[in-house]
Amino acid sequence: MKSRIEILVSLLPSVDSLADVGCDHGQLTLLALENKKCKRAVISDVSEKCLLKAQTLLKNYVDLGVVKSICTDGLKGIEKVDLVVIAGMGGEETVAILNNSNFLPTHLLLQPMKNPEKVRKTLLSLGYFIEKDFTFFIGEKYYDVIKATIGKDNLTLEELEFGKTNVREKPVGFIKKLNAEKELLKGVLQKSGVSESSMAEVLKRLEKIEKYV
Ligand SMILES: C[S@@+](CC[C@H](N)C(=O)[O-])C[C@H]1O[C@@H](n2cnc3c(N)ncnc32)[C@H](O)[C@@H]1O
């Protein structure tokens, strides 16, 4: 079975330059280089301690000048690259990094841990076309991944909420996640003492997800 990082790397386009923002351990950049997804990379993290892990893992590439490292908040001080990866951060943090950037890369690969809908809205307002946007299940967890490129796009309200590929192609990870949520909501309905307003919310959500499962 593939790891989360392997799945992310498999989705990367092949480019000259990549920035791995919030790189932490640096595994994504290592795998991207090994798989020839980029010729050079910038690893960055707001935490010096985290960045040191990536610098250690990628020492050979750093020594060769293939990888440059920078301790910074988001994309501040990073020169334009073709592809930016932001994985494992919250959606709001991801949005803030994109909105505060001095440049828009041609390609983005984003894996927000929360609030993916906020990331989708921001991508549309910045002028990105969403190529893929789906949920996958690995190591007992669900992850949302969004691959985008410069261009125009229009999403329905449902696509904004659930993800374009999820709505259009209903991949297994998405269906599994909704089935799990459905069971949870049905459990709430059977509980006693739930307020009328909470009950109404649960029923509304159930109606929404029952279109898919
Ligand atoms: C959960 S780790 C994810 C690491 C890696 N990207 C991955 O997907 O496995 C989040 C990393 O983002 C870093 N981080 C958080 N906010 C950041 C910011 N505004 N700019 C740069 N790095 C940030 C943290 O220090 C941490 O190393």
Of 3.40.1160.10, 3.40.50.150, 2.170.120.12, 3.40.50.970, which CATH number belongs to 4-156?
A: 3.40.50.150
> Domain segments of the chain: what residues?
4-156, 176-209
Q: What percent of the chain has pLDDT over 90?
A: 97
Among 20, 31, 43, 47, residue to substitute to test ligand 1 (most atoms within 8 Å of Cβ)? 47
pLDDT at residue number 18: 98
Span 99-141, pLDDT tens digits: 999 999 999 999 999 999 999 999 999 999 999 999 999 999 9
* Ligand 1 atom closest to 8 (CA): 8
| Alpha carbons 146 and 119: distance in angstroms, whole number | 9
Name the residue at shortest CA distance from atom 25 of ligand 1: 47
Q: Is the CB of 84 inside a 6 Å radius of any atom of ligand 1? A: no
The ligand 1 atom at the shortest distance from the C-alpha of residue 86 is 6
pTM of the model: 0.97
Question: Residue 43 in 3-state DSSP?
Answer: strand
Mutating to test ligand 1, I would choose from 24, 48, 114 the residue with most ligand atoms within 8 A of its C-beta, which is: 24
How high does pLDDT run on average in the chain? 97
Judge whether residue 147 has pLDDT over 90.
yes
What number is the average pLDDT over the span 129-158?
97
The pLDDT value given to residue 194: 87
